[in-house]
Structure 1
C-alpha cells in the first residue's frame, strides 16, 4: 500500500475515532487526524500480529483496523500522555 493510501486511510480513521470518541483533546481535529494516520500503522501492525489481517488498502476492513489503532493511540494519549 502506498504512502498516500496510508495517509488517506489514516485521515478517515482519525475522523471516525474523533467522532466515536469525542472529548477534549489538546490538538483538536488536526492532532486527532495525525493520531489517525499513526493509528493506521498501529492498527495494521496489531491486526497482522493477531491474525486478522493488516490495513492493506482502502476498504472497510482496513478502515476498521485503522480506526481500532487510532482508538488505541487516542486512549494512550488521553489517559497517560495528557496527564
Structure 2
C-alpha cells in the first residue's frame, strides 16, 4: 500500500515539475499530471537505471525529462 502511495506522490511531484519546465502551457488535470509523472519515472528508469536501485539526483532529473518527453509525444499525437 505504501508503494502505491509513494508512486502517486512521486508522480505528482515529477509531473508538476515537468509541466512547470515544459515551454508553453500544458492543459491537463491533476490525474493526468500524476500519470504523466509516474510514466516519466518509469520511462527514465528503463533508460537510465537498467535494474540498479536507489534514489539519486540524476534519476530524479531524468524522471522529469522523461515526463517532458511524454508531454511532447502526447502533443505530437494530438492529445493536448
Q: Deviations over 1:27-76 (max 9, x none)?
A: 24431222111111011111135xxx76x444422211211110111110
Aligned residue pairs total 78
1:46 matched to which residue of 2?
A: 47
Say whether the 8 Å CA contact 2:40–2:63 is kept in structure 1.
Answer: yes
SS in 2 for 1:82: coil
How much is the aligned-residue C-alpha RMSD, in angstroms? Answer: 2.6
Q: Distance in 1 between matches of 2:72 and 2:13?
A: 18
Say whether the 8 Å CA contact 1:13–1:66 is kept in structure 2.
Answer: yes
Unaligned runs of 5+ in 2: none
SS in 1 for 2:26: coil
2:69 matched to which residue of 1?
A: 72
